[in-house]
Structure formats: C-alpha cells, structure tokens
Amino acid sequence: MHLRRASIGVAILALATLASAIPQTTAEPARHVPLVVSPSIAYQTIEGFGFCQAFQRANALISLPEPHRTAVLDLLFNTTAGGAGFSILRIGLGSSPDSRGDHMNSPQPTVDSEFKWDGVDSGQVWVAQQAQRYGVETFIADAWSAPGYMKTNGRDDQGGWLCGVSGEGQGGLCGGVSWIKPYAEYLAKYVKAWVGAGIPIHSVGFLNEPNLIKNYATMQSNGYQAAEVAPVLIDALKEVGLPEVGVSCCEGQGWSYARDLLAEMQEAGAVEGTLKMITTHTYKGTPPGPDRPLNTTLPVWVTEISPIMDKLGFTQTWYSKHAENEGLLTAINIHTAIVTGNVSAYIYWIGVEANNFEPPMIWAPSRRRNATVPDGTAPYTIGSTYWAPAQFSRFIRPGAVRVDVKQGGEGAVDALLTSAYLNKDGSVVVQAINNGDEALSISLAGLSTDCKMGQWVTDGERKLTALEVVSGAEKVPLAKRSLTTLVFVC
C-alpha cells in the first residue's frame, strides 16, 4: 500500500475524535467471513457522489428558515458536522421561456433576444456557492434541451430534434438553417457565465434523457446525432476560452439505452478522444441496474437516479421488503453501479425539495408552494435514501481508487456485498452491506495489525453511527440488513 506519512497522523487523529461512546450491539454468534483486500489490484477512480437542485428545487433549500437551512447544508456537504460531504453538484442549464413549475428559464429565450444570464439560474447559483464554501470542486452542467426556436417542434418541451442533425426525426434543416453551431455557442456562453460567476465547470452535457418526451424540457437524439453535436460544442468551448471544460454525453434513461447510444456514437467516432465522460441515468426497470460495464475506456457517471418508478414517495424506512424507496436497496444499487457497472460517480436526482413524490433525500415540506402544513410539522425530514449515498460519499473521497476485495474462507456468503477503496490520503475504506437476516462478522487479511479501524453503521436503528475505533485485526460484527463502513488508517 502506498501510504503518505504526513497525512496518516492527521487521519488517526480524526478517527480518534470521531470515536463515539455509542456501544456496539452485542454480536450474536455470527458466521465469520474473512475478507482479503488487495490494494495493488486497482479498478476505476471514483470522482465522487452528489445531487442536483435543478427544476426550481433549489428554492426549497434557499427558503428554509435558519437554523434549519444551515443544518441541511451541513447534512449535504459537511463531513466534520456529521454530514455526507457530497462532492459533486449537477447543474441544469435552462432552455424554457419562464421559470414556472419544472421550467428552467433560458438566458436567450427567443430568437430575437440577446443572451442575458440572470446570475440566479433558478436558485442554483446560490446552491453552488454554498457547495463551494464547503469545498466542493466538481460542478457538472447539463442542458435538458435547446431553446424551442432551435428545434424541429419550435418548443423546448415535448421532445423534438435539434435543427440540423441528420436522419431520424427529420432534424434536417429547419427553414434552411442548422442550429447545431448556434446551440453549441449558446451552451459555451452559458458555461462561461457560470465560470464568470466563480463556479468552475467540470463538463457540460447537451442532452438529457433523449429517449423521453415530456412536458418539461426534452430533446430527442440518437447516438449518431449526438456525435454530430459533441465536436462542435468542444470547438465552441475553446472559442470562448474554456478548453478545459469537457463535454459529456448523453444522460440516457436506462443502462441498456446508454449502451445503444454509446455504440452509435462510437460508430460515428465521437466517444474516446472526444468526450470527457459518459453519463447515464439508471432508473429502475430500464433495466434494474448496470449488469456489466459499458464498453468504453472513458469514465462512466450515473448522473441521475431516484426511486420514482414505483411511485412510493418519501419514506424513512431503511428496510422492510427492498421497496424501491428504501435505504438498503439504495445502498445495494450504489454497490452494483460501482462494482458491476464500473461507475466513477453517483449523483442522486434531488437533495432537498418540497414535494415528496420524487422522493428527495431530504424533504422540506413547509417549503412546498401553497401547501397547508399542519402546526408542528418538522421543517425538514431526512429520508431513508439519504443514508447510503451519504455513507459512501463521506468516506470515499474524490480521487479514491476502487481496489479489489474478496471473500476468503469457505463458500461465498451471497448476502454480503463488499467493495474497497484507497483514498488519496492513504486510508483504505471498505463498504460492507449485509443484505441478509442473519448477523455476520468480517475481518480483514492483508492489513497490518497496527492499523486502526473506524466503523460506521446504518441499519433500522442506527444512522451513520460511529462505533468504537479498534485494531485493524479485529473481527467486526455486521448487523443484519445493514451498511457498515470501515476506514483503515495504518
């Protein structure tokens, strides 16, 4: 293992201060699984975990009265205050004529208007500035659609194609004009406005779920058409002096659809060597989750995920039956995306919002527009879907490399799902999900007994609860239906 001496002392100190007096639950005689971590077998780099406050959802956070607003910001961003330390914010770039409902207003809403950014962007600038205050460095921007006047259907919602793209959808030339370059220039100006406001933009996407037609900004595209736009956008970013801003594609809804889009773009030669990363949304059912890595050497990011398909809404139940909106399934989905899908970043749809149907990680019902909130309603409530992203994010820091971990001993325990990471500061993180009804215990081979091990657990009763720091050689109990994080500092 490559341990950096300077940071080790600091990390041990951090573990020591985090050690809490909360006693461990007495372990029943449990099946023991020795794990073997091999830091020399390295997989993908993890860029981080995050969320989005687009679609006017930022306002739910902005309008929370203090001290609740700061408390919620701490939950999202502050590792010191016991929060998630989310390290990525996804920003929606507007294309709509107004900011009503789920619309994000465009800085150039009509063909005749000048490009004029409002510096607010539906409240997202404020959220980005707060994120920055907590040390977030990765801001990704994504447009759901081009403004209506650039499209075949003349509006930014209800699907339609970008004028100028070939083939499907009769993109062709609308009124003899291709809008590919003007759209690229629009996005480049938009990104430059954000950069000018002090928010560095990591990458920009020009599509969102191009397989869907909705009553909010939607624009259809296949992979060949996307391949016509991506290089033009790269040039436009260089043109405005932002060559470091990458282009991502295509935020497709569903893993198998992402695979199709990718194959089409690759056929057109616009993936490796062109894009910065592949972006995809893995909503349940389309199919359930990454069944194998996408066929690319580029990093793959899940940029949107929310348990919305079964319409179960918001819950605080960690586990009852693996319902879509429960925390344990959220943990399993993150594990699958990273370990099976080779995903580098995982971004939940909404952090905080007033509606409870999507559902957000944190629900602030009193901020719901015109809602009648009964007296005594909590200003905000933490949902079960917060805990797993938070527990992955808090300990697996940007730049960590996923490393190999295997079950040793006799016979694999199917209910035990593990992954391991080597952070840049030299600490080793093991995420262990016990998806069974029996308690287990684990131990780690391959790490010195001098290592100190911090433990955190979330299950039905405990939420990101710190347990005592023990020697790296000790057996660690894994409660039934739990997510346990071990952080080794040697």
Ligand X SMILES: *[C@@H]1O[C@H](CO)[C@@H](O)[C@H](O)[C@H]1NC(C)=O
CB neighbours of 44 closer than 8 A, spacing ≥ 6? 299, 338, 342, 343, 344, 401, 402
Least separation in angstroms between CB 76 and ligand X: 11
Stretch binding ligand X (CB under 6 A), from 76-84, 87-95, 250-258, 471-479: 76-84
CA distances from 480 to 41, 369, 429, 459, 460 (A): 29, 40, 20, 8, 9
Q: Toward ligand X, which CB reaches closer, 319 or 380?
A: 380
Q: How far apart are CA 226 and CA 262, in angstroms?
A: 10
Instruction: Please give the backbone phi and psi of residue 266, each rounded to the nearest 5 degrees, phi first.
Output: -65, -40
Least separation in angstroms between CB 139 and ligand X: 17
Q: How far apart are CA 171 and CA 39, in angstroms?
A: 50
Pick from 443, 401, 438, 404: nearest CA to 33: 443
For ligand X, which residue of 10, 40, 115, 133 counts as binding (CB under 6 A)?
133
Task: Please report the DSSP string for 49-82 in residue order.
Answer: EEEE-TTTTHHHHHTSPTTHHHHHHHHHH-TTTT
Q: Toward ligand X, which CB reaches closer, 246 or 299?
A: 299
CA distances from 75 to 78, 80, 86, 303, 391 (A): 6, 10, 9, 20, 11
Stretch binding ligand X (CB under 6 A), from 74-82, 243-251, 280-288, 396-404: 74-82
Q: How far apart are CA 134 and CA 400, in angstroms?
A: 19
Contact status, residue 280 vs residue 332, Cβ threshold 8 Å: no
Q: Toward ligand X, which CB reaches closer, 64 or 442?
A: 64
Q: Toward ligand X, which CB reaches closer, 196 or 269?
A: 269
- Determine, following the binding rule CB under 6 A, whether residue 134 of this chain makes contact with ligand X: yes
Residue 83 three-state SS: coil
Q: Toward ligand X, which CB reaches closer, 116 or 369?
A: 369
For ligand X, which residue of 26, 370, 372, 449 counts as binding (CB under 6 A)?
370
Stretch binding ligand X (CB under 6 A), from 202-210, 220-228, 292-300, 456-464: 292-300
Q: Toward ligand X, which CB reaches closer, 90 or 259?
A: 259
CA distances from 311 to 308, 314, 323, 326, 388 (A): 5, 9, 11, 12, 20
Least separation in angstroms between CB 153 and ligand X: 26
Site track 261-290 with ligand X (rule: CB under 6 A), x = hit: -----x------------------------
Q: Which of residues 38-57 bind ligand X (CB under 6 A)?
A: 44
Q: Toward ligand X, which CB reaches closer, 26 or 297?
A: 297
- Determine, following the binding rule CB under 6 A, whether residue 153 of this chain makes contact with ligand X: no
Q: Toward ligand X, which CB reaches closer, 281 or 481?
A: 281
Q: Toward ligand X, which CB reaches closer, 136 or 328?
A: 136
Least separation in angstroms between CB 244 and ligand X: 19
- Amino acid identity, residue 340? T
Do β-strands 465-471 and 476-478 pair in parallel, antiparallel, or remain unpaired?
unpaired
Ramachandran category for residue 160: left, alpha or beta (phi over 0 → left; psi -120 to 50 → alpha): left
Instruction: Please give the backbone phi and psi of residue 450, each rounded to the nearest 5 degrees, phi first.
Output: -75, -15
Least separation in angstroms between CB 380 and ligand X: 17
Instruction: Please give the backbone phi and psi of residue 225, each rounded to the nearest 5 degrees, phi first.
Output: -70, -40
Site track 307-346 with ligand X (rule: CB under 6 A), x = hit: -----------------------------------x-x--
Do β-strands 452-458 and 482-489 pair in parallel, antiparallel, or remain unpaired?
antiparallel
Q: Toward ligand X, which CB reaches closer, 293 or 313?
A: 293
Contact status, residue 381 vs residue 362, Cβ threshold 8 Å: yes
Ramachandran category for residue 403: left, alpha or beta (phi over 0 → left; psi -120 to 50 → alpha): beta
- Determine, following the binding rule CB under 6 A, whether residue 78 of this chain makes contact with ligand X: yes
Least separation in angstroms between CB 299 and ligand X: 4
For ligand X, which residue of 81, 111, 173, 445 counts as binding (CB under 6 A)?
81
Stretch binding ligand X (CB under 6 A), from 9-17, 75-83, 429-437, 460-468: 75-83
Residues that bind ligand X (CB under 6 A): 44, 74, 78, 80-81, 133-134, 266, 293, 295, 297, 299, 342, 344, 369-370
